[in-house]
Amino acid sequence: MSNCTNLKTIDLKINNFTGDLGKVNFATLQNLKSLDLMENNLGGIVPESIYSCSNLTALRLSANHFHGEISLRIGNLKHLSFVSLSRNSFTNITKALHALKSCRNISTLLIGRNFMNEAMPQDESIDGFQNLQFLAMHQCSLTGRIPTWLSKLTRLKVLVLSKNQLTGPMPSWINSLNNLFHLDVSNNSLSGKIPVTLMEMAMLKSDKPAIYLDPSLVDLDLLIYAVDASKLQYRINSDWCKVLNLGNNKFTGVIPQEIGQLKALLYLNLSSNNFYGEIPQSIGNLTNLQRLDLSNNHLTGEIPAALEILHFLSEFTISNNDLEGPIPTTGQLSTFQASSFNGNPKLCGPMLINHCSSVEAAPISIISAKKCSSKVIFVTAFGVFFGVGVLYDQLVLFRYFG
């Protein structure tokens, strides 16, 4: 392969190749622009000769058995735009980020499932990546807080930090990422209340299509492993799902009414936290929602009638809370199975074992009936007293003037 000096693309992904890449002298491949070795059984250290391919724009080594540290020489690849190193055994994430920040044209960086149990770098000198649009650092068991240097990534559109061991609050600067439309920090140990600034994210409020633009990479797919372990595949230059996933953390407080501002959301996951209080009526403003998960919290009160107008919901669960009252029998919510509502012993509905009585099913009618009864009693009493009063007046007048 080293003798094929005119090669521009090497695409050997999804095979069963084994061995050490060091046997290939990539230094002779000066025309190489794309190297894709994803999903093989290659191992060893990434050969230094790869960093001599000065025209390389896309490098994907994910899902192999590479180990060791990322060489600082990767910074020599000034044209590099797409980098996927995920699902290997690389170490020293701080060195890796300092090396990669020199690749000023990187727009996509996938480094998840490496650097196991290391600390999330907090180094403020990580100040490159001015063109970064997609960053995935998931399933690394990284410790520490969400770092402030992320706030410098002003072009960032997708941020995936799921399945780590991050602690502390959601940073208030999150709304400064004006282009961010896909935020996944699920399966961490983040705590505190949801900052109001999170409800002010421009792209989650806007109906503007979320398109990942990188025309130089039209032949590469992006693979993201979602929280539920299902593989979501997105094609570059296609619409992306607008996502806010805070599931499986330690957030607390009430769900802010301001969440209704995020009208562009297609997926909202607040499950497995410590939220309490009522489900905000304003969630009914999220009319584009396709997936809503509020399960495993401490939510109380009735299911807001406003949720009935979420006509695009295909997945919905509020299980394992302390909600009460009847499940709406009209609208989209009536189409979901019992599993969407289980674990709320005070809820009732036709899909549950606990069926609603006539009293529970028609609280509005009962209130109206009570009001009507009160009015009848009042009118009757008023009529009796009025009649007695008139009669008394007549008797007095008769006595004095009769």
Instruction: Please check the confidence at residue 213 and state whether its pLDDT lies above 90.
Output: no
For position 330, what pLDDT does the model report? Answer: 83
What's the mean pLDDT in 325-332? Answer: 89
Mean pLDDT of 12-31: 93
Under the banding of pLDDT at 50, 70 and 90, the label for residue 256 is very high
Q: Which of 11-20, 125-134, 355-364 has the lowest mean pLDDT?
A: 355-364
DSSP for residue 211:
B
Q: What is the pLDDT of residues 270-286, one digit of tens each?
A: 999 999 999 999 999 99
Q: What is the mean pLDDT of the chain?
A: 84
- CA–CA separation, 345 vs 363, rounded Å? 19
**Residue 359 pLDDT greater than 70, yes or no:** no
Q: Please say if the pLDDT value at position 86 is more than 70.
A: yes
Burial of 249 (0-12, 13-18, 19+ CB in 10 A): buried
Task: Please report, for residues 8, 15, 69, 172, 221, the alpha-carbon distance to residue 36 in angstroms, rounded to integers and kept in the order given.
Answer: 11, 11, 20, 38, 11
What are the tens digits of pLDDT across the range 132-185?
Answer: 999 999 999 999 999 999 999 999 999 999 999 999 999 999 999 999 999 999
CATH number belonging to the domain at 9-361, selected among 3.40.50.10810, 3.60.21.10, 3.80.10.10, 3.40.50.2300: 3.80.10.10
Task: State what percent of residues in the chain have pLDDT above 90.
Answer: 73
Mean pLDDT calculated for residue range 45-70: 95
Buried b (16+ CB within 10 A) or exposed e, 100-124: bbbbeebbbbbbbbbbeebebbeee
Beta strands in 114-242 (DSSP E): 134-136, 143-144, 158-160, 165-168, 182-184, 189-192, 221-225, 231-235
Contact (CB, 8 A) for 127 and 101: yes
| pLDDT band of 357, cuts 50, 70, 90 | confident
Say what the pLDDT of residue 127 is. 86
Range 93-102 average pLDDT: 95
Measured distance CA(275)–CA(298) in Å, rounded: 6
Is residue 55 very low, low, confident or very high in pLDDT (cuts 50, 70, 90)? very high
Residue-level pLDDT at 92: 98
User: How many Cα atoms sit within 13 Å of 26 on the Cβ side?
Assistant: 22
Residue 387 has pLDDT above 60, yes or no: no
Domain-wise residue ranges, the chain: 9-361, 369-402
Q: Looking at residue 358, what is its pLDDT?
A: 62
What pLDDT is stored for residue 207 in this prediction?
75
Type of residue numbered 334:
S
pTM: predicted TM-score of the whole model, two decimal places: 0.84
Residue 184 C-alpha from the chain's centroid: 4
- pLDDT bracket for residue 232 (50, 70, 90): very low
Q: Is the Cβ–Cβ distance between 174 and 198 less than 8 Å?
A: yes
Average pLDDT over residues 88-104: 96
300-325: b or e for each residue (b if 16 or more CB lie within 10 Å)? eebbeebbbebeebeebbbbbbebeb
List pLDDT tens digits, range 291-316. 999 999 999 999 999 998 999 999 99
Confidence of residue 209 (pLDDT cuts 50, 70, 90): low
Predicted local distance difference test score (pLDDT) of residue 332: 87
For the cut 80, the answer to whether the pLDDT of residue 234 exceeds it is no
pLDDT digits (tens, 9 = 90+) for 40-50: 999 999 999 99
Q: What are the Cα distances from residue 24, in Å, to 58, 125, 131, 293?
A: 18, 35, 31, 49
Distance of CA 187 to the CA centre of its chain: 11
Could you give the CA distance from residue 164 to residue 176 in angstroms, rounded to a whole number?
23
Predicted confidence at residue 329, as pLDDT, reads 84
